[in-house]
Every structure is written in C-alpha cells, then in structure tokens.
Amino acid sequence: MAIVLNGTTGITTPDIDSTAGLDAADITGTIGTAQITDANVTQAKLAGEAVNESKLQVSNAPVNGYTLTAQSGNTGGLTWAEPASGHWTNLAEVTLGGSQVSAIDITLPTGYDQLRLEIVFPRPIGSTGKDVEMQILNSSDSAQSFSYFTTHFKGDANTYDRDDGRFATELILSGTYGANSGDRLQYSIVFSDTSSTTIETKYLAQGYYYRNDQLQAVNSLSGATQYASTAASSKLRFKLGGSTTFNTGTGLYYRLYGHAYS
C-alpha cells in the first residue's frame, strides 16, 4: 500500500544541502553555500569580541598609531591612514575633588612636541593665603633646576610684583591667595621639549587669580627654561608654599593636551 502525504503518493528522502536526497554531506553536518546567506548571518549569531582587525576587509595593512578611515573607492571601503598632523589632542580630563592633598602630580606623556595644561586650582586649607609653586620632575622624581621669571599685574594696572630665580627647583606661579572662600586661581601653561634629552625643557604660562579679601584681580605671566641640564622631564608637581595642603572641592579640574607636528 502506498503512503499518501499531503496529496502526494510516496515519501522522498530528506535533504539538507543543495544536492538531492539524504547523503553523506547531510549526515556529517557539512553546510553548503545555499545555507549561508545574508539573511541567515545576523548580528545575534556573532559572539562578543568575535571580530578583530584581521577579519575586517581593509584595503591596506595596519600601522601602529594610524586610524581607520572611510574610503569608498578602496577595497572594503576602509583604509588605515595616518592622523592629520598639527593639532592638539585631548590627553586627560581630571576632576580635582573629594580629598585634601599636599600636591597635585600630573604625568607628562612622551611623543608630543608640545603639551598644554589648563588647570583651575583648589584653595589652601585654612585661612592663610599661600602661593602656588610648580616643579618639573624627571623620571627619578628629582626636581629640575630652572631659570624663571613671573610677573603679577595687579588690578589697578599700575602696580605689579615679580618673582625670579636662577637654579631654582620650585617655580613660583602665583602670589598669595586662598585666605578667603571667594579666592580662585587658574592657569594655562604650554610646555615645550619636556621629553627631550638634548633640548632644554621650557614653558610659558598665563594665569589669573582673585583675592576676595582684597577685592583684587591679578593677571600673571610666567616663563622658564631648564638651566644647565637636559635631563628628561616626566611629571609636573604643583604645591603650596610651606606645608599647607590643598582643599580639593568641587568645580576644580585640569585638562592636558598634546601637540604633534608629524
């Protein structure tokens, strides 16, 4: 007696791949091209971290430091390319807050022709005004000697004071501030050749601080050159005159940028 299924007499052998009938390829689990289609390969079927650089269809070989760019005329539409030169790269954004610290240390990365630091300083602990001092440390955390000059132009535009030093390892950035809760201090500093072992490190800085108890706004200009040494510099340290600590409250931060010519 013949078996009738859905109006069809007889039952054919099952088939999995593109060839007729149940054969060895079906039994061993081999999948033919008919089963691999765009509709069958979905994002949900890919495991996490399953795609790496070698799996991408990129028109050229990767190079350390290069970025992946869209190039519609190239194979796969992607190409590794050298980043554009001559711009500032944001290296760090740090909020200063939540604790009392005796110094603010900032690591200086290598590989940049210049570094720029934008910083809003905390107030000193207590009611006595203090100046802010800067050190540039080498890889052994030894402070480097500098010849420096800082001029403070006071609010009436007719008076100023200055600080200068030769073979100084502590560079005075500001006059005394912080005796009143309304006092504030901010600086923009550009460093050159900080990682060089053949060219002296140097910096130029412009700052502003306000002493609320004296109702006095002060603009500061500062510059320095590493003196009689070309030891590599790797860290900035900001501290207060004496042993006073910073009060790192809210709204205080620093941003560090790097500039490369090539």
Residues 6+ apart with CB under 8 A from 122: 96, 104, 246, 247, 248, 249, 252
Q: Checking phi first, is residue 18 left (phi over 0); if not, alpha (psi -120 to 50) or beta?
A: alpha
126, pLDDT greater than 90: no
Residues 6+ apart with CB under 8 A from 245: 100, 101, 102, 124, 125
Q: Which of 34-38, 141-145, 147-151, 182-186 has the lowest mean pLDDT?
A: 34-38
Is 128 in contact with 244 (CB distance < 8 Å)?
Answer: yes
Q: What does the angle CA 255 – CA 63 – CA 114 come to, to the nearest 5 degrees?
A: 30
pLDDT at 129: 79
**Dmax (CA) of the chain:** 118
Residues 6+ apart with CB under 8 A from 159: none
Model confidence pLDDT, tens digit, residues 41-89: 677 777 777 777 777 788 888 877 678 888 888 888 888 877 665 678 8
CATH number assigned to the domain covering 87-260? 2.60.120
Model confidence pLDDT, tens digit, residues 161-194: 888 877 889 988 888 888 887 888 899 999 998 8
Cα 254 from Cα 259, distance rounded (Å) = 17
Is 158 in contact with 176 (CB distance < 8 Å)?
Answer: no
Which part of the chain is CATH 2.60.120?
87-260
Q: What pLDDT band is residue 116 in, cutting at 50, 70 and 90?
A: very high
125, pLDDT greater than 60: yes
C-alpha distances (whole Å) from 220 to each of 132, 174, 188, 206 are 12, 7, 10, 6
Strand partners, 258: 89, 115
Model confidence pLDDT, tens digit, residues 203-257: 999 999 888 877 888 899 999 998 876 667 889 999 988 767 877 666 688 999 9
Average pLDDT for 27-44: 63
Q: Is the model more confident about 10 or about 171? A: 171
Model confidence pLDDT, tens digit, residues 100-110: 778 889 998 88
Q: Checking phi first, is residue 32 left (phi over 0); if not, alpha (psi -120 to 50) or beta?
A: beta
